[in-house]
């Protein structure tokens, strides 16, 4: 049960991390396009 919870939290954290990274990348790209 503890292991399962740990895996779930880890997956959730990784998902949020990559989603945030993706959003920042897209936002930067969009900003660059608008600047040009």
Model pTM greater than 0.85? Answer: no
Residue-by-residue DSSP string for 1-34:
-HHHHHHHHHHHHHHHHHHHHHHHHHHHHHHHHH
pLDDT in tens, 1-36: 567 777 788 888 999 999 999 988 887 877 666 655
Cα separation, 35 vs 5, whole angstroms: 44
Cα Rg of the chain (Å, integer): 16
Task: Tell me what pLDDT residue 7 has.
Answer: 78
Distances (CA, A) of 35 to 4, 24, 27, 31: 46, 16, 12, 6
């Amino acid at each position: 049960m503890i292991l399962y919870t740990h895996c779930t939290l880890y997956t959730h954290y990784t998902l949020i991390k990559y989603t945030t990274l993706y959003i920042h990348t897209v936002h930067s790209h969009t900003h660059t396009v608008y600047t040009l």
